[in-house]
Amino acid sequence: CVVAEAEIALVSRDLGWPAKALDAARAALEKHGDRLNAAHAGHLKVRRLLLIGRLDEAEHVLAGLDPAPLPPAARAAHELAVAGIAMRRLRTRPARAALESRCAGAGR
């Protein structure tokens, strides 16, 4: 599975894997109604973009992901990515809001 391979590459800090393959896998997952795995693929893309310093692209991809229908763990990943971008941009209020949202969700 392309998404699993991308996750392993990301954890291994192998940032040379083909991002287009992950985009194609995400599109296929969305087409087949697998929102959870499509969102996971999107979050992997965001994490990769953050690691290579492409904040604008990461923020754009993240803005296209709706965390509302996702289970708590996936929503947490989303909020942590939002917080990570905000911290890198020194936007303290959005970073704090994202982290507080995550902390509030942890009790569920």
Give mean pLDDT in consecutive 10-residue pieces for the chain, a chain of 108 residues.
89 86 94 91 91 92 88 87 86 78 63
Q: Rounded to whole angstroms, how far apart are CA atoms 50 and 38? A: 19
- What's the pLDDT at 33? 93
What residue ranges do the domains of the chain occupy? Answer: 2-106
Residues making up the chain, counted from first to last: 108
User: Among the residues of the chain, which ranges form H helices?
Assistant: 2-11, 19-31, 35-51, 55-63, 72-88, 92-106
- What's the pLDDT at 108? 53
- What's the pLDDT at 70? 85
Say what the pTM is.
Answer: 0.78
- What's the pLDDT at 17? 81
